[in-house]
Amino acid sequence: MWTSTCLPSTLTWCTLSCSRVTLNTSGVLIEDLQEAIEAQEDGGPSPRTHSYTKYNTWDKVHSWTASIASSNPSLISKQVIGNTYEGRPMTLLKLGKKSSSSKPAIFMDCGIHAREWISPAFCQWFVKEALSTYGSDSQMTSLLNEMDVYVLPVFNIDGYDYTHKSNRMWRKTRSRKSGSSCTGADPNRNWNAGWCSMGASSNPCSDTFCGYSPESEIEVKNVADFIRRNKSAIKAYLTVHSYSQLLLFPYSYTYELAADHSELMKVAEGASSALRSLYGTRYTSGPGATTIYPAAGGSDDWAYDLGVKYSYTFELRDTGRYGFLLPESQIKPTCEETMLAVKYIAAYVQKNLY
């Protein structure tokens, strides 16, 4: 049932709702889902420490953040951009060679949606690769010499922690407001970009609840404030989700084409073919509204309208066989191929700086 209901023709419904088909009427997870959850862990037993080929808990990601920053002070620094609803620090990593003058930058976040575990795994992988290939890979060396890359490894930390401890299929934040018994808003429907006009719900119990107002979710406000403050430096915004194997760009809140449509499409196609060159994984590129579904209030549209031209949403592996429950054995190949796409976009942005 799990796989047969996830045919590509039902993609729109599937991406948001596949998890629900495995709930019985009393809301208890049925055996199929429990089995699928256990099957994710095909990467061997869980070590006590952080691993790039496992889905790390928030506590492990948090301590990894501190140790990776302190062990590479010349290339990486960290700053807390605010706290989550439940009070966890949102630590942003800044990768790049130190410079006396300010450098142009790329901003990348992972884990906006709690259950999309391959996404935070990718941000961690990216940081490791950037540090370990600086000085040997000419493209990475030049990128980090000329630009800074901001990486937010887990955007929706409260939700991510909740998927590890209580409900693997949770998507939203964990905020509460008096007047509703339902928890959380969709942090990718809460940005001030055509907010709540289409493809989002004003029902607090919905998985795509847009929130009570734009930036009502503190995690969204913290990131939006950071990007606004650093608007003149930030040349590209990359946000990593799963699943569907898509590389999307604005708009999702309207069917109108972005002013930079042709260039955004050209870069997306180049990035997708770089990705495909490694293991043959096929990605589809295009504007969100027509390629996946119209959905207002997303971070990509917001960043683009703010003036960050190269604004992309990745939907990583797979196309529905495992969906959010992508086995750990696929972390390495997924991250390796995604690196090629991210590096392609970064190289293009860098080449067009001046």
Q: Would strands 284-287 and 246-249 be described as parallel, antiparallel, or unpaired?
A: parallel
Nearest distance from C-beta of residue 111 to Zn ion, angstroms: 9
Of residues 235 and 241, the one with the C-beta less far from ligand L98 = 241
How many residues bind to Zn ion according to rule CB under 5 A? 3
Q: Does 300 bind ligand L98 (CB under 6 A)?
A: yes
Write out the DSSP string of 214-241. Answer: TT-SHHHHHHHHHHHHTTTTEEEEEEEE
Could you tell me how far CA 198 lies from the centroid of its own chain?
A: 21
Nearer to ligand L98, 211 or 288 (CB): 288
Compute the least distance from the CB of residue 294 to ligand L98, in Å: 8
> Per rule CB under 6 A, is residue 222 in the interface with ligand L98?
no
Instruction: Of 247, 196, 185, 263, give the one whose Cα is nearest residue 221.
Output: 185
| Integer Cα distance of 33 and 204 in angstroms | 25
Q: Identify which of residues 288 and 323 has a Cβ nearer to ligand L98 in the complex.
A: 288
Give the per-residue contact string, 112-151, with ligand L98 (x = CB under 6 A; - = no): -x--------------------------------------
The residue number whose beta carbon is nearest to ligand L98 equals: 298
Is 189 a binding residue for Zn ion by CB under 5 A? The answer is no
- Which does residue 222 bind out of ligand L98, Zn ion, none, counting CB within 5 to 8 angstroms by kind? none
Q: Which pairs with CB-CB distance under 8 Å and at least 24 residues apart come from 50-57?
A: 50/124, 52/121, 52/124, 52/125, 52/128, 52/331, 52/332, 52/335, 53/328, 53/331, 53/332, 54/328, 54/331, 55/117, 55/121, 55/328, 55/331, 56/120, 56/121, 56/124, 57/161, 57/164
Q: Tell me the residue number closest to Zn ion, measured at CB.
A: 241
Among 62, 115, 241, 343, binds ligand L98 (CB under 6 A): 241
Catalytic site residue 215? no
Residue 148 vs 315, nearer CB to ligand L98: 315
Backbone Cα Rg of the chain? 19
Four-residue CA torsion sign, 190, 195, 201, 203: positive
CB of 117 vs ligand L98, minimal distance in Å: 13
What pairing do the DSSP bridges indicate for beta strands 310-316 and 246-249? antiparallel
Subset of 78-137 contacting Zn ion (CB under 5 A): 113, 116
Among the listed residues 116, 129, 215, 315, the single catalytic one is: 315
Interface residue list for ligand L98 (CB under 6 A): 113, 188, 241, 248, 252, 288, 292, 295, 298, 300-301, 313, 315
* Active-site residue set: 315
Interface residue list for Zn ion (CB under 5 A): 113, 116, 241
